C-alpha cells in the first residue's frame, strides 16, 4: 500500500522557518523522484521543489530559490523520508503543502503535477505578517 504522509506545517511569523516532512512508504520509493507542491486558497496547485532519486539533484521554483531546501533520506527500498526546509517565510508562502512521487526510475525532474502518481494529504503552512 502506497502512503505519503506530510507533517510539520504550522503558523509562523514573516521571516520564520519550518521543516516539512513526508514519510513515503510502499512500492519502490527509493527509485522515485519526489516533489513538493503547494496550493493557496483560490489558486491552482503550484510546483515548489523536486529531488531526483539517484543523486539528489534538486530543482526549485524561482519563487522559493534560496529560501527552501528539499532533501531525502532513503531508508530502504520501500521507505523514504523527504524534507522541505523553509526559511525567510513570507505571507505569500501560505498554502497547503503536498508531497508527491513520480513513477520509478525517472531521470528527468518534472515540475508539472500530472507527472506525479502519488500524493499526500497535505500540511497547512500559514505565515502571518
Each residue of 23-67: pLDDT tens digit?
999 878 888 999 999 999 999 999 999 999 999 999 999 999 999
- Rounded mean pLDDT, 86-92: 98
Q: Which helix (H) or strand (E) holds 25?
A: strand 18-25
pLDDT at res. 86: 98
C-alpha cell read off for 117 = 502518481
Q: Which of 77, 69, 73 is nearest to 19 (CA)?
A: 69
| Helix, strand, coil tally for the chain in percent (to 5) | 5, 55, 40
pLDDT at res. 35: 97
Amino acid at each position: 500500500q502506497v502512503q505519503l504522509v506530510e507533517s510539520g506545517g504550522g503558523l509562523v511569523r514573516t521571516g520564520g522557518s519550518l521543516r516539512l516532512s513526508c514519510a513515503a512508504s510502499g512500492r519502490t520509493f527509493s527509485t522515485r523522484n519526489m516533489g513538493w507542491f503547494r496550493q493557496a486558497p483560490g489558486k491552482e496547485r503550484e510546483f515548489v521543489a523536486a529531488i531526483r532519486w539517484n543523486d539528489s539533484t534538486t530543482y526549485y521554483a524561482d519563487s522559493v530559490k534560496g529560501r527552501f531546501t528539499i532533501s531525502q533520506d532513503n531508508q530502504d527500498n520501500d521507505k523514504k523520508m523527504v524534507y522541505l526546509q523553509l526559511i525567510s517565510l513570507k505571507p505569500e508562502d501560505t498554502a497547503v503543502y503536498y508531497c508527491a512521487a513520480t513513477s520509478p526510475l525517472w531521470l528527468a525532474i518534472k515540475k508539472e503535477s500530472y507527472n506525479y502518481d502519488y500524493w499526500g494529504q497535505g500540511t497547512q503552512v500559514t505565515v502571518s505578517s
